[in-house]
Amino acid sequence: GAVVSQHPSWVICKSGTSVKIECRSLDFQATTMFWYRQFPKQSLMLMATSNEGSKATYEQGVEKDKFLINHASLTLSTLTVTSAHPEDSSFYICSGSPGPNTGELFFGEGSRLTVL
Amino acid sequence: DAKTTQPPSMDCAEGRAANLPCNHSTISGNEYVYWYRQIHSQGPQYIIHGLKNNETNEMASLIITEDRKSSTLILPHATLRDTAVYYCIVKESNSGYALNFGKGTSLLVTP
């Protein structure tokens, strides 16, 4: 299947700092990418839909000013957690699709954020 | 809200077939059934999907009932590495739509 790579795999930061997570589609172009987060022992929750060259669409309850998403190219989307707090500690996962008529999504390895 | 219902957990002995059920009684005509799995601390992995015919690939088989209200994912010879949470998701085949994950089934394969 198609490959999606995330970086970093894990990050620890101090409260109040910002953290950027990168999501790259390595062998396909992704017009649309999705960002999820997952708290311990819970399922994945969709945060936002990222479309190349346009503003992201956020799910209800997700603060767009706190979770900045940029999708400047067909192979790169970034999620920046601004002014991180301990409650933002979570597993963040991105996904993308290789084609407009392909329902499959391919997921990155995930990035574990711990805010102290 | 998830449109599927799965048992929260299942056990399977290594080498035996693992049969994971999923109910999707409100599935619409243009929605596919997708199966993904998530091994601990990793991103979800695509397994298989189907519309109404049974499907098989190198990982698993998908059996969809004639009325499409339920399906079963079959791992023919489960290994310890198949221990994961398995998610059954119904979705239109369109990359513009995200996958909405329910709680899935936590499969434990035992020696």
Q: Does B100 touch chain A (CB under 8 A)?
A: yes
Give the up-direction half-sphere exposure of residue B48: CA atoms within 13 A in the CB hemisphere.
22
Q: Where are the beta strands (DSSP E) in chain B?
A: 9-13, 18-23, 31-38, 45-50, 55-56, 61-64, 70-75, 84-92, 105-110
Tokens of B91: 């979705």
Q: Does residue B1 register a pLDDT over 60? A: no
Phi and psi at residue B82, to the nearest 5°:
-85, -5
Averaged pLDDT, A81-86: 96
Q: Does residue A87 register a pLDDT over 70? A: yes
Subunit contact B46:A104, Cβ cutoff 8 A: yes
- Please write the tens of the pLDDT for every residue from A2-21: 789 999 999 999 999 999 99
Q: Does residue B95 register a pLDDT over 60? A: no
CB A82 within 8 A of CB A20: no
CB B16 within 8 A of CB B77: yes
| Mean pLDDT taken over chain B | 93
Model pLDDT, residue B21: 98
Give CA–CA dist A107/B40, Å, rounded.
Answer: 14
Q: Nearest by CB to B95, which of A6, A102, A107?
A: A102
Q: How confident is the model at residue A102 (pLDDT cuts 50, 70, 90)?
A: low
**Closest residue on chain B to A101 (Cα):** B94
Averaged pLDDT, B26-32: 90
Find chain A residues with C-beta within 8 A of B96's C-beta: 32, 100
Q: Say whether B64 sits in a helix, a strand or coil.
A: strand
User: Cα dihedral angle (B96, B35, A95, B108), rounded to 10 degrees?
Assistant: 160
Q: Does residue B107 register a pLDDT over 90? A: yes
Q: How confident is the model at residue A105 (pLDDT cuts 50, 70, 90)?
A: confident
Closest CA to A109 of A93, A98, A88, A89: A93
Q: Nearest by CB to A44, which of B34, B46, B101?
A: B101
Q: Nearest by CB to A43, which of B46, B91, B102?
A: B102
CB B60 within 8 A of CB B35: yes
Closest CA to A84 of A14, A22, A20: A14
Q: Say whether B82 sits in a helix, a strand or coil.
A: helix
Find chain B residues with C-beta within 8 A of A107's C-beta: 43-45
- Please write the tens of the pLDDT for every residue from A40-83: 999 999 999 988 888 899 999 999 999 999 988 999 999 999 99
